[in-house]
Amino acid sequence: MDSKATSVSLVGVSKTFQGVSVAVDSLSLEIKEGEFVVLVGPSGCGKSTVLRMIAGLDSPTSGEIFISGVNASNVEPKDRDIAMVFQTHALYPHMTVRENLEFGLKLKGLFTSNEIRERVRETAEILELESVLDRKPKHLSGGQRQRVALGRAMVRKPRIFLFDEPLSNLDAKMRNQMRVELGRLHTRLQSTMVFVTHDQTEAMTMGDRIVCLNEGKIQQIGSPMELYSHPANEFVAGFIGIPPMNIFSVQFIRDDIFIEKAGLSIPAFSSVASTLKKYPRIRMGIRPEYLSICSSSPKAIPITVEVIEPLGPETLIYTRCNDLSLVVRVSAGSHYEVGERLFLCLDELKIQMFDISTGESIH
C-alpha cells in the first residue's frame, strides 16, 4: 500500500468544556511523519479530546494544530484525510465484510469499481480477511470485527490513523494478537499513527514514543524504556510498569535513611546520600525487579510475605514491613510461603528519587 505519512504538530493547545476546568492544558507535541505515538494516561486525562481535536471533531479553545505544516483550523474534518478507529467498531450489520469495506469508497464517488475492488483486495490480504469477505459482522469473531473496522480506515489510505482505545473490547488473548498485528501494519504502511489507551502495557509495547498525560497536561514524552527507566516524575513512575514502582517517603537522619512507613532506619546508600543531604525528606522509588530476597544485613529490610503471585516466567511477592508494602519480582521456581519472614535488599544503583512537594524526579 502506498504511504502518504504526514506530520502533526500541536502548539500550546488547550480545550475547556463547560463545567470541566481544563480538559487539555497548553499541550505542545510534534508527531513526525510515519511515527507511531501512543497517548496514555488515566481515564479523563484528555486523551480522546486530543485525538478529536486532531481529527477536527472538536476545536481547541486556544492554540493551533498543524497537519503537514498547514494550520488545520480552517480545514474541515472531512478534508483532513484522517481515519479514526474507535473502541466500538460500528460496522453496518446488514452488509458483508466486503460491502463494509467498499462502502466509504463508493460514497466518495472518486474511485472506479476496479480501484475499489483492488483496494479491498489489498486491505483484506494485509488484514487476513480474505476468507470472511462474504460474511456479515454477526458471523465474525471480535478480533475479525475489529480488523474489519481497521480495514474500513485502511481502504481510504488516509494520511493519519487515529485510534481511540480500539482494543479495549477484546479479550486479553485477542488484544495481544491485535497489538502485534497493528505493529506489523505500521511497519508495512509506514503511516502516521496516534493511538490512545489507558492501558500502560499497550503503550509500552506499541509506541515508538509514548506521551503520558495526566489532568490534561503532558507528564513526559519519550520511548517506552525512557519512561520506564527514567520517569520524569512520581506520576509516570507509578503509572508505567506493572506492578508499579514501589515508592515511599524517607528522611535522612544523621547517616541513616529513615523509611517512614516501615518505622525503620537503615544506613544510607552512598548512591543517594548526597541527594538526601540536600533534600532531608524525599520520595524514594524502586522497581520490583530491583528488590531481592537476601540474608539479614544492616541495609536489609525485614518483611513478611503476604501474597505470592506465580505468573509463569516470574513470581511477584507482595510483602510488608509494618505499614510499608513492597512488591518484589523474583524468578519462577523460587519457593516462598505466605507468612514467611525474610529480608529484602535494594539495588542501590536503581533507586529513583522524587521531590516530596513537586513529585519531580531528582537526578
Could you list the residues that contact ligand ATP (CB under 6 A)? 17, 20, 23, 41, 43-49, 198
Q: Could you give the strand order of the β-sheet that contains 62-67, starting from the edge strand earlier in sequence?
A: 24-31, 8-15, 62-67, 70-71
| Residue closer to ligand ATP (CB basis): 23 or 72 | 23
Min dist. Cβ of residue 5 to ligand ATP (A): 24
| Residue closer to ligand ATP (CB basis): 20 or 180 | 20
Say if residue 243 is preceded by a cis peptide, omega within 30 of 0.
yes
Q: DSSP 3-state assignment of 34?
A: coil
Min dist. Cβ of residue 49 to ligand ATP (A): 3
| Residue closer to ligand ATP (CB basis): 47 or 287 | 47
Min dist. Cβ of residue 355 to ligand ATP (A): 26
| Residue closer to ligand ATP (CB basis): 48 or 192 | 48
Min dist. Cβ of residue 65 to ligand ATP (A): 15
Min dist. Cβ of residue 206 to ligand ATP (A): 16
CA distance linking residue 318 with residue 322, whole number of Å: 13
Q: DSSP 3-state assignment of 330?
A: strand
CA distance linking residue 290 with residue 283, whole number of Å: 16
Strands (E), 20-159: 24-31, 36-40, 62-67, 70-71, 82-85
Q: Residue 10 in contact with residue 29, Cβ under 8 Å?
A: yes
| Residue closer to ligand ATP (CB basis): 46 or 288 | 46
Q: Which residues contact residue 143 at a Cβ distance below 8 angstroms, ignoring those fewer than 6 apart?
A: 170, 174, 177, 178
